């Protein structure tokens, strides 16, 4: 047992069951815990873990709940019986209901609902500790969860394999079908004020809805199936638990979900970047319908983010953008007519230099070969490219400075050049990462740990850390000696993009469905923010398509993300991330009694901007 700051209340396990514990419930006054087990017993405990009562039943326990007054316990079991017990362990009533997955009392104590394996929800009237069946609701599959609204006028149920949440009145009328999940719904609950419904699904998401069935905000993401959800008594925090394969409990700030301003472009987005003054965003990509590459500049300080430039280039797929003081450098792959409808256009390569009005200042030709990856140095003077042949270093005039390395077998999938331009990292199709100096000499050992191709590489601003993203759903951090830093950052999909914050303390990443992923769920597609210790900040922001580009503004007040379907999410304020972080740490002992300068600084920041 734990408190909300993560401190373990029970230091040793409470022993009372002889087989697996299948269900647990806390009394309304928070003083008694009831547990049910496959050993056909119900145990009652105090908060110190002392066994108060052990109740023997006739079947393996599948569900337990307390009545609102805390004086009655309802249990369901494998023998198909629904039973009521008093707190002394005396059986008050027993009735055959079939195999039950879930059970709940109404807040007014007048009704009891059971969710059954046979696709039904049974509603029971409770009068004088007697039960008479009132209504039977038909759903789309086994009902894993039932929940009453706080005013006892509405019932929410999971819809089995239909992936729906159903809202009913207590007369048997279906009020709403909540559609949005891509997997079976395993848990539903109402907020304490009754205005919000939360649902957790096997698609790895938690969704919020109003009572009319309208989605609220963006889904909250886990790495695996969400089996349980529950609100805090004040309704400000939502807790969710995921399945054992990647089991975790997460707390979400439901009052400050990420608000996004969005725009759309026609085509696939390949890269996004901020100007040095954080005022302008640059977006490049390719429209397969018109075979045109596009360069889009937008002013974030103008109302509605006014367009500065929308330049189209016929038969050129623009894939990378970098800002100079007064110019823009982009890389563009030329498409031959017979390749313009394919998804593998990377054959010849140009560099184009524009001013901010879109006038071409220079056109560099000569990066010949099957280019698969490219990166610009921070000073804009050097370019590193990866291909099926190896890694090359170029100046911006297209002159090859050095052939860093030539490969015979593994294809280069990602490259990055350090901020000082002296170190190059490359990732291959086998999940290996290599570090080179500017002269092509390998530094240290091969970085191994990924199980699929290395799709993304980026250096931290100080050049001492490398972040690698892979289609194995992880991001890993490494030092320049090839040693891993922290645990892998686990995502719900393949990694398509990653970028450090300007101060190097955070990492923004984008994921999506790749050819290695099964199914077509949007569960894979999301924007993620992490600290460099691997802790996720806030919740992942789900998208409709793989997130191909992410960037944080130099002033760290804005976030940009672009996805394959042409959607751009711009200027998401990091203050909302800060709010989530501060609220989650509000009751942590460090915040109550900070001792180090870093801890005091963290508390001061939260007090200044959030509390």
pLDDT, greater one: 429 or 560: 429
Tell me the per-residue pLDDT of 470-507, one tens digit each, with 9 for 90 and over: 999 999 999 988 899 988 999 988 999 999 988 898 89
Instruction: Kindly report which listed range (76-90, 139-153, 390-404) carries the lowest average pLDDT score.
Output: 390-404
Average pLDDT along the chain: 79
Classify residue 109 by its DSSP letter: S
pLDDT, greater one: 156 or 278: 156
Question: Is CATH 3.30.70.980 the classification given to domain 97-258?
Answer: no
Tell me the per-residue pLDDT of 176-194, one tens digit each, with 9 for 90 and over: 999 888 888 988 999 999 9
Q: Give the pLDDT mean for 165-169.
A: 91
**97-258 and 368-490 in the same fold:** yes
Classify residue 601 by its DSSP letter: H
pLDDT computed for residue 261 by the predictor:
45
pLDDT computed for residue 342 by the predictor:
37
pLDDT computed for residue 447 by the predictor:
93
Return the domain boundaries, the chain.
Answer: 1-96, 97-258, 368-490, 584-610
Instruction: Kindly report which listed range (29-33, 290-294, 540-544) carries the lowest average pLDDT score.
Output: 540-544
Q: How far apart are CA 434 and CA 242, in angstroms?
A: 36
CA proximity to 282, closest of 330, 316, 346? 330
Q: Give the pLDDT mean for 509-527.
A: 76
Does position 344 have pLDDT exceeding 50, yes or no? no
Does position 5 have pLDDT exceeding 50, yes or no? no
pLDDT computed for residue 407 by the predictor:
61
Q: How far apart are CA 566 and CA 268, in angstroms?
A: 5
Does position 350 have pLDDT exceeding 60, yes or no? yes
CA proximity to 372, closest of 316, 409, 413? 413
Task: Indicate the pLDDT class of residue 462, thresholds 50, 70 and 90.
Answer: very high
Q: Which run of H or E residues covers position 333?
A: strand 327-334
Does position 294 have pLDDT exceeding 90, yes or no? no
CA contacts within 13 A on the Cβ side of 272: 33
Most confident of 49-63, 352-366, 569-583: 49-63
Question: Where are the strands (E) in 474-586, listed by range?
Answer: 474-479, 484-490, 494-500, 506-512, 526-531, 541-542, 547-552, 559-563, 567-570
Q: Is the distance from CB of 189 to CB of 149 less than 8 angstroms?
A: no
Does position 27 have pLDDT exceeding 50, yes or no? yes
Task: Indicate the pLDDT class of residue 352, thresholds 50, 70 and 90.
Answer: confident
CA proximity to 283, closest of 567, 529, 579, 2? 567
Q: What percent of the chain has pLDDT over 90?
A: 20
Task: Indicate the pLDDT class of residue 337, thresholds 50, 70 and 90.
Answer: very low
Q: Give the pLDDT mean for 36-58.
A: 87
Fold that domain 1-96 belongs to in CATH = Lipocalin (2.40.128)
Sort 11 into a burial class: Cβ within 10 Å, 0-12 / 13-18 / 19+: exposed
State the CATH class of domain 368-490: mainly beta
By residue count, the chain amounts to: 611
pLDDT computed for residue 519 by the predictor:
58
């Amino acid at each position: 047992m734990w408190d909300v700051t993560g401190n373990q209340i029970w230091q040793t396990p409470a022993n009372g069951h002889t087989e697996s514990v299948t269900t647990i419930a806390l009394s309304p006054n928070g003083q008694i815990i009831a547990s049910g087990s496959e050993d056909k017993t119900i145990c009652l405990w105090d908060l110190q873990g002392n066994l108060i009562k052990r109740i023997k039943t006739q079947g393996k326990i599948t569900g337990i709940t307390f009545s609102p007054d805390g004086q009655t316990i309802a249990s369901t079991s494998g023998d198909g019986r629904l039973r009521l017990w008093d707190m002394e362990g005396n059986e008050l009533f027993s009735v055959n209901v079939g195999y039950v997955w879930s059970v709940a009392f109404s807040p007014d104590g007048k009704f009891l609902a059971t969710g059954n394996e046979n696709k039904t929800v049974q509603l029971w009237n409770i009068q004088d500790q007697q039960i008479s069946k009132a209504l039977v609701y038909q759903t789309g599959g086994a009902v894993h969860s039932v929940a009453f609204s706080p005013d006892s006028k509405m019932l929410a149920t999971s819809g089995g394999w239909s992936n729906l949440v159903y809202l009913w009145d207590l007369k048997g009328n279906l009020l709403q079908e909540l559609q949005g999940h891509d997997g079976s719904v395993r848990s539903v609950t109402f907020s304490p004020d009754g205005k919000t419904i939360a649902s957790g699904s096997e698609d790895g998401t938690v969704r919020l809805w109003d009572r009319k069935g309208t989605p609220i905000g963006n889904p909250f993401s886990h790495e695996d199936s969400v089996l349980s959800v529950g609100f805090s008594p004040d309704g400000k925090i939502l807790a969710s638990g995921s399945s054992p394969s990647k089991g975790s409990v997460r707390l979400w700030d439901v009052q400050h979900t990420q608000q996004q301003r969005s725009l759309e472009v026609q085509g696939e987005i390949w890269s996004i970047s901020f100007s040095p003054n954080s005022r302008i965003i640059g977006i490049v990509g390719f429209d397969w319908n018109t075979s045109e590459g596009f360069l889009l500049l937008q002013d974030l300080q103008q109302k509605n983010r006014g367009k500065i430039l929308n330049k189209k280039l016929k038969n050129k797929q623009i894939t990378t953008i970098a800002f100079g003081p007064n110019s823009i450098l982009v890389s563009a792959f030329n498409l031959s007519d017979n390749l313009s409808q394919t998804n593998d256009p990377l054959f010849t390569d140009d560099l184009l230099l524009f001013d901010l009005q879109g006038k071409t200042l220079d056109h560099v030709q000569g990066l010949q070969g099957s280019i698969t990856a490219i990166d610009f140095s921070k000073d804009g003077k050097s370019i590193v490219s990866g291909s099926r042949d190896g890694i090359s270093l170029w100046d911006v005039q297209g002159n090859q400075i050095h052939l860093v390395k030539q490969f015979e077998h593994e294809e280069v999938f990602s490259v990055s050049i350090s901020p000082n331009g002296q170190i190059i990292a490359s990732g291959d199709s086998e999940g290996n990462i290599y570090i080179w100096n500017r002269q092509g000499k390998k530094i240290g050992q091969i970085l191994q740990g990924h199980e699929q191709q290395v799709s993304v590489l980026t250096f931290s601003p100080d050049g001492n850390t490398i972040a690698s993203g892979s289609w194995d759903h992880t991001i890993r951090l490494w030092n320049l000696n090839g040693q891993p830093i922290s645990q892998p950052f686990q995502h719900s999909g393949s990694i398509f993009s990653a970028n450090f914050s300007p101060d190097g303390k955070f990492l923004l990443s984008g994921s999506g469905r790749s050819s290695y992923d099964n199914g077509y769920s949007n569960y894979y597609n999301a924007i993620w923010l992490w600290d460099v210790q691997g802790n996720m900040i806030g919740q992942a922001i789900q998208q409709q398509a793989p997130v191909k580009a992410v960037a944080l503004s130099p002033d760290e007040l804005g976030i940009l993300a672009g996805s394959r379907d042409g959607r751009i999410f711009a200027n998401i304020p990091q203050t909302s991330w800060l709010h989530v972080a501060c609220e989650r740490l509000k009751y942590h002992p460090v915040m109550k009694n900070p001792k180090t300068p870093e801890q005091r600084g963290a508390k001061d920041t939260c007090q200044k901007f959030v509390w």
